[in-house]
Chains A and B, each alone.
Chain A
Amino acid sequence: MSDLTNPVEPFLRSDRMPHIWCPGCGIGTTVNCFARALIESKIDLEHLALVSGIGCTGRVAGYVKLDSFHTTHGRAIPFATGLKLANPKLNVVVYSGDGDLSAIGGNHLIHAARRNIDLKVICVNNLIYAMTGGQTAPTTPGHAITSTSPYGTCEPAFNLPHLVEAAGAVYVARWTTFHVRQLARSIAEAFQKKGFSFIEVISPCPTLYQRRNKLGDGLDTMKYYKEKSKVRHGAPTSEAGLTMTGEIVVGKFVDRDRPDYQTLVRAQLAESLGDRFVEQAEMVCS
């Protein structure tokens, strides 16, 4: 082998490779983009923490060589919120799947967006509960066949960018695993924002979603993303709903500024307490 090493190798726990993700799964690609965004944006890794929940994407916390935490199901955002409030200097990234963030953790997602807590949320959306055997998720598009809906899903699906925009996120973008460079740039951009940033990444699940719906393997899905995705920056998120084989609207939808939770708390306390208000001392971990 050559004397060179993979540029993302310093960000990975190499002893745990190969990872558990199936051949053709896109989660590894998103981790790759995330690592490259960290390299590009020159973030101080000492002040970065990654929190993930349960599910295939929840495994990311175990594979990255950062301060990371693998939380209980759906509670990635509450853990991250606590982490951020206790140590405001930390850059906190929540890296989880659609089932974890929008189903069992849906409540936390909308309230973290409403409060505008300074978190970077990367949601890998494979349109299904993958780790538990391919059940219908809140993001499963209509008519898709899953293990709990053998005749096709009849429920309307969540449009996640629309949901978090309505709840108050300051940065909302969507990419697919095909858009690697754009995704890396988007993650780097989110690090520059103060407030609740949400990046949805559409990813193939060849083992459960694509196989049951006869949509081919991971590579076929990537070709579908290439063919059917349309970059529309600033598009109204209400028009960004997903269907099974239709167009995928991608791009940066929302980039706005709103005071984040800690700014509001500080302002409120300073106003109410006046001279008695003391800034929180810097947290020192030893």
Chain B
Amino acid sequence: MAKGRVSIVVERCKACGFCVEFCPTKVLALSSAFNSKGYHPPHVVHPEKCSGCDLCGMYCPDFAIYGTKVKTVGAQEVDDES
């Protein structure tokens, strides 16, 4: 079960690749799809590996990605912040 979840605001991304490079568990990869400005935003390739450390969120110069911890209560996933 993944400990965290990554959220990506695709339209803000400028495809610098910082999040892909510095994700400690290598959750992300740049996708082949374009956003409306013509950049390739990242997408989640290994959602189960995400630890929710939010390092991608700290590196992102465009405020386009962030990680959140997910608490597991029984079998149901509950977002940490809500």
Contacts and interface: CB of A to CB of B under 8 A. Distances in A.
Interface of A: 1-4, 6-9, 12, 17-19, 21-29, 31-33, 36, 178, 180-181, 184, 217-219, 222-223
Which 9 residue pairs are nearest across A and B when measured between Cβ atoms? A28-B61, A23-B14, A180-B58, A24-B16, A6-B66, A219-B17, A29-B61, A2-B7, A23-B16
Interface residues of B, number: 28
A222 to B, nearest CB: 6
A143 B22 CA distance: 30
Given A4-B7, A4-B66, A222-B22, 17 more contacts: A4-B79, A7-B54, A7-B66, A17-B62, A17-B63, A21-B62, A22-B14, A23-B15, A25-B16, A25-B61, A29-B18, A32-B63, A178-B22, A181-B58, A184-B58, A218-B18, A219-B18
Contacts of B58: 29, 32-33, 36, 180-181, 184
Given A1-B9, A222-B18, A222-B21, A6 B62 contact: no
Interface string B51-82: 00011011111110010100000000001011
B14 A7 contact: no
6 contacts: A4-B82, A18-B37, A19-B62, A22-B14, A28-B63, A219-B18
A40 B28 CA distance: 26
Interface of B: 5, 7, 9, 11-12, 14-18, 21-22, 37, 39, 54-55, 57-63, 66, 68, 79, 81-82
Contacts of A180: 55, 58-59
Given A1-B9, A4-B81, A18 B62 contact: yes
A32 B16 contact: no
Contacts of A24: 14, 16, 61
Contacts of B22: 178, 222
A12 B64 CA distance: 12
B7 A219 contact: no
A119 to B, nearest CB: 25
A9 B9 CA distance: 12
A219 B16 contact: yes
A4 B16 CA distance: 23
Nearest to A36: B58
B67 to A, nearest CB: 10
Contacts of B11: 18
B48 to A, nearest CB: 17
Given A1-B9, A23-B15, A29-B18, A7 B57 contact: yes
B25 to A, nearest CB: 16
Contacts of B59: 29, 32, 180
A32 B7 contact: no
A219 B82 CA distance: 34
Nearest to B12: A18
B58 to A, nearest CB: 4
Contact of B63 (A2, A6, A25): A6
Contacts of A184: 58
Contact of A8 (B18, B63, B79, B81): B63
B63 A12 contact: yes
